[in-house]
Structure 1
């Protein structure tokens, strides 16, 4: 099917998938470092902020070489390419159905972002579980398909949905907050900026601003999600108690720097690429 004759929602899916591919390839090392920081054993005391991040990054390069920073990129692609496509096509379909040509306000933007992320998050959770396990370094999976078979055979299919609640508690608020701030900051820009050659840079800057706040608010849920998916015997409440007992309140913000960098940059790039591609093919994003 040629893009020019495809259904608008299919076009949105393809634009979203392309934007997700670019951002995943660039920022996978930050996701791996974030996962390693969050799953450090209690006997290891990483430094705070940039020190902890750099310590883990250098350790990965020393023990697994430079390409080790892209460990887990295969499940990341398997999750992000269809996942971002599903997210943007759902977002586009909901926006066209409920708001059509109207510019949604803050509350509608929250509902659109949260609704699209719920659909994508539930559908892609099995691959998210595999991706987290690849990155943590505790499992010796060879491929995504092999990992899926191994989990189903040894732990049962239900293990592929471990961490569903903290995942949704992380991703749905992140997307809702992000879309709200992104859409409102874009709307506040002078109209001549949106029509100028610097529009992509302005959109990217709006995305950075929205992403920082959304990342920090949802960081505790991300830490809980990682522990549940790496240790599927833990329930959400047990993971929360474990993190607090072992690391205190600051444990819920382990990996905040690499995650904030990655999520902010990925979201900003994905939305910028998506909107430019949609404009190129004549659709309003």
Structure 2
């Protein structure tokens, strides 16, 4: 097969793209979740979560705001421990509680990460193919436009689901009670209330996606040209994903800090049954952070974010590209017979 023409003829179907992204999301969650479990246990040890207090659980793909409504000591994030650091926490959790404890928060992670990632990556590939057919193969704006649009759509679709799932995590709800809660919220505040926290999420994730996909495509192309390859290998995708993800994570960290604080405040106001103040805009929160902690306050948690984002981006994109390459090979073999 002519290597220059083959990849243009052999296409991957949207269903195959969805399967590839689903596999990547599951694998990424399985590998990255223990990092967050350990981080949260260390946080709980130093600053125990009180009733109504929130913490943000993230696996590098999606964030999850968990509300400690009852303050129950049986919860996985409330288990006792005396940890001296990350490695010590890993070893003691495995020795005292079993290795399964490292994946304690996996179910809610998968509930959010899988649909969001499938929508995101499939939309990106479909938009990229469409734009390239209209504008040409080498337009640098294509990954920026496709990444921005895909992330905007994924965040908008998933946002109400995240709000509902967060409410279910705060307390045990039957589906009837959950339906009553949603109906009441919609009747009181309108449908727009289901998208609380959407704005700071967009401000963080859309620029992240634009920078990530632009840098990823540039790095991937550069590595392929350097080694004389038409398609990226697993290691090229892995390295390009880690580097581009790290750069985007650093630049967008201030919006991540604001988003975490805003979502936490939203749940605090809801739990205390008081109205949300009108001044809680993204820019006001950012201004308050700078006034209180200086400019460096906007980059709080840089190292933990990089430790999560770099491997998550690398594993996700390399698995996704590997899955597409696998299906492309299968489709090629079908065409030959």
| Common topology (TM > 0.5) | yes
With over 3 angstroms needed to count, the CA separation of the structure-2 counterparts of 1:142 and 1:200, relative to structure 1, is farther
1:236 correspondence with 2:281: yes
Deviation digits for residues 216-249 of structure 1, max 9, x if unmatched? 0000101111111122136333432443344332
Q: Equivalents in 2 of 1:126, 1:55: separation in Å?
A: 34
Residue 247 (structure 1) aligned to one of 276, 284, 293:
293
Please list the CA deviations of residues 238-262 of structure 1 after superposition, one character each: whole Å capped at 9, or x if unmatched: 4324433443322222222122221
User: How far has the Cα of 1:153 moved from its partner?
Assistant: 7.2
Do the aligned residues in 2 keep the contact of 1:113 with 1:179 (CA within 8 Å)? Answer: yes
Indicate conservation of the 8 Å contact 2:237/2:321, yes or no. Answer: no
Deviation at 1:85, TM superposition (A): 0.5
- Indicate whether 1:203 and 2:240 are aligned: no
1:173 aligned to 202, 207, 217, which one?
A: 207
Cα distance change on mapping 1:144 and 1:222 into 2, 3 Å: farther
> Could you tell me whether the CA contact under 8 Å between 2:131 and 2:142 is conserved in 1?
no
Does the residue aligned with 1:103 lie in a helix, a strand or coil?
A: coil
TM-score using structure 1 length: 0.74
- Counting matched residue pairs gives 260
Mapped partners of 1:74, 1:127: distance in 2? 14
Aligned to 1:269, which of 315, 318, 322? 315
Name 2:59's counterpart in structure 1. none
Q: CA deviation at 1:81?
A: 0.5
Residues 219, 253 of structure 1: 8 Å contact kept: yes
Give the whole-Å Cα distance in 1 for the aligned partners of 2:230 and 2:194: 45
Structure 1 equivalent of residue 5 of structure 2? none
Question: Bigger shift: 257-266 or 164-173?
Answer: 257-266
Q: Distance in 2 between matches of 1:148 and 1:216?
A: 37
Deviation at 1:159, TM superposition (A): 5.0
Deviates more, 1:7-16 or 1:99-108: 99-108
- Give deviations 1:100-155, integer Å, cap 9, x for gaps: 49534332211111111111111112344567789xxxx74458979966974786
2:31 equivalent in structure 1: 26
Give distance in 2, aligned partners of 1:176 and 1:121: 14
| 1:84 maps to 2:89 | no
- Aligned counterpart in structure 2 of residue 74 of structure 1, from 107, 110, 130: 107
Distance 1:257 1:207, change over 3 A: same
TM-score by structure 2 length? 0.64
- C-alpha distance in 1, partners of 2:122/2:246? 24
Show structure 1 runs of 5+ residues with no match: 1-6, 42-52
Using the TM superposition, give the Cα deviation of residue 194 of structure 1 relative to its aligned residue in structure 2, in angstroms.
3.5
